[in-house]
Structures are given as structure tokens and as C-alpha cells.
Amino acid sequence: MHLYLDTAIVEEVREIAAWGVLSGCTTNPSLILASGRKFEDVIAEIIEIVKGPVSAEVTAMDAPTMIAQGLELRKISPHVVVKLPTTPDGLTACKALTADGHPVNMTLCFSATQALLTARAGATYVSPFLGRVDDISWDGIQLIRDIRLIFDVHNLDTQIIAASIRHPMHVVDASKAGAHIGTMPAKLFAMLIKHPLTDAGIEKFNSDWQKALKNQ
Ligand code: G3P
């Protein structure tokens, strides 16, 4: 599973990209609001760092305006992935944009039927929100499993982005369930790398090395 950062904070992108593990980035209007910055500037700066797919969401609700906004976003960089809501108009815009070679990420997906529709509309990516599915007492990981099974059985090449990831076991389980990509906040990356036995081992090796130096 490839790892994406779900943020509009450029400093976070810089920090995690320096680990050498980042394949892309996703943003949404709530994250742009939290950044307090101009949308286009944030997207351009993130792309400069990631040099890979960065999802930028349209705000329109009707297909013609979604397409127009998507084309404007694509002028920022070829790395921009147009993020569209999983609605009838979103599907129409998805079909039009992908037919012209523009990559699209269908967001706010909560069911396997929605995911199947996005794939049939030519979506490059679909983003099931597994944490929000869990929030309503459904099974977000089972949703990822179902979508992956349907895509495999029918040779659909839309990639699954496990989104709304809330904790490390979501990362493990989404990966096992066949999500192609997991997108998560920077604090999740910090949780994924941290292990008390790694810290204890480093401390022991360091203190033993200080003692060993006396014999060198
Ligand atoms: O990628 C979607 C994500 O931003 C939503 O996460 O935690 O608000 O459900 P959350």
C-alpha cells in the first residue's frame, strides 16, 4: 500500500517527505480551511515537495462547473488530481475529465455500489472514508475488502485510496484488505514509526557503546 499524507499544511508534507516514504498527498476544503492559506498556493507548494499525485477538490455541485474548476486546477501542475464528490454530477464530471486524460479522485465514497459507479465512470482513484463508516457502526475495512474484490473480479483498474484513517490498525487492516493507497494525517505517520522497544533498544545500545568506547 502506498502512503499519502492527508493535509494542507506544507511543513507537515516537508517533514514526512523527508522520510522518503511519501507517494502523494490529498487535501479537502476542511484541510484548506485549517491551513489558513490560499488554496492554489498550498497545492503548488505541496506538489513542489511531493512531485507526485496531489488531490485538489472542486467546490461546485453541478457537472459543468466541476469540469471547469477541475480544468483550472489542472493548470497548476500535471500532478494535480481532480477530487470530485461521489454524486451523479460528480460521475458525469469524472467521465468527461478522465476521457480527456485528467486524473480524478472520487471522494466521500461510503458504499461498494458507489465505488463500482466511480470505476465505471473511469475514476483513477476512489476514496472510501473508512473512519467515518466505522463512526456510524458499519465496518470500514469490510467496505475496502468488498470494493477490492469487485474491482479484481471485473478487472477494474480504479485505485482504492483508504481515507479517513484514524489509527495504526486502520493502516494495517486497509493494507491487508487490498487498498492501493492509504491517506492519513501527519500524526498517524508519527504513530506508525514509534515503538517503545525501538526506543529502549537505542538507549541500551547507546549506553553500552559509551562503555565500550573505554576499551577501544
Ligand atoms: O481523506 C479524508 C479525510 O480527510 C477525512 O478524514 O478523519 O475527517 O473522517 P476524517
Residue 71: predicted pLDDT: 98
Average pLDDT over residues 5-18: 98
What are the cell numbers at 139? 465496518
- The answer to whether residues 22 and 54 touch, using CB atoms and an 8 Å cutoff, is no
- In this prediction, residue 157 carries a pLDDT of 98
User: Max alpha carbon distance in the chain (Å)?
Assistant: 75
pLDDT of amino acid 142: 98
Cα(153) to ligand 1 centroid in Å equals 28
pLDDT of residue 201: 98
Closest to 144 measured CA to CA, from 75, 152, 136: 152
Give the span between the Cα atoms of 88 and 22, in whole angstroms.
32
pLDDT of residue 55: 98
Q: pLDDT for 132-165, tens place per residue?
A: 999 999 999 999 999 999 999 999 999 999 999 9
Contact 150, 116 (CB under 8 A): yes
> Of the candidates 93, 178, 108, which has an alpha carbon nearest to the alpha carbon of residue 142?
178
Express each pLDDT in 106-130 by its tens digit. 999 999 999 999 999 999 999 999 9
Whether 180 contacts 2, CB under 8 Å: yes
User: Of 96, 152, 205, 121, which is closest to residue 106 (Cα–Cα)?
Assistant: 121
| Single pTM value for the model | 0.96
Q: Is 33 in contact with 48 (CB distance < 8 Å)?
A: no
pLDDT, tens digit, 9 for 90 and up, residues 66-103: 999 999 999 999 999 999 999 999 999 999 999 999 99
Residue 83 annotated to the active site? yes
Q: 99: which 3 cell numbers?
A: 476521457
Task: Verify whether ligand 1 is closer than 6 Å to residue 132 (CB atom).
Answer: yes
Q: What is the pLDDT, as a whole number, of residue 125?
A: 99
The answer to whether 38 touches 66, Cβ cutoff 8 Å, is: no
Strands (E), the chain: 2-6, 22-26, 54-57, 80-85, 104-109, 125-128, 159-162, 181-184
- In Å, how far from its chain's centre is CA 26? 5
Asked if residue 183 has its Cβ within 6 Å of ligand 1, the reply is yes
Q: Is the CB of 37 under 6 A from ligand 1?
A: no
pLDDT at 139: 98
Any atom of ligand 1 within 6 Å of the Cβ of 131? yes
Amino acid at 124: T
pLDDT tens-place string over residues 19-57: 999 999 999 999 999 999 999 999 999 999 999 999 999
Give the pLDDT confidence of 156-205 residue by residue, as tens digits: 999 999 999 999 999 999 999 999 999 999 999 999 999 999 999 999 99
Residue 210 Cα to ligand 1 middle (Å): 46
Protein residue with least CA distance to atom 4, ligand 1: 164
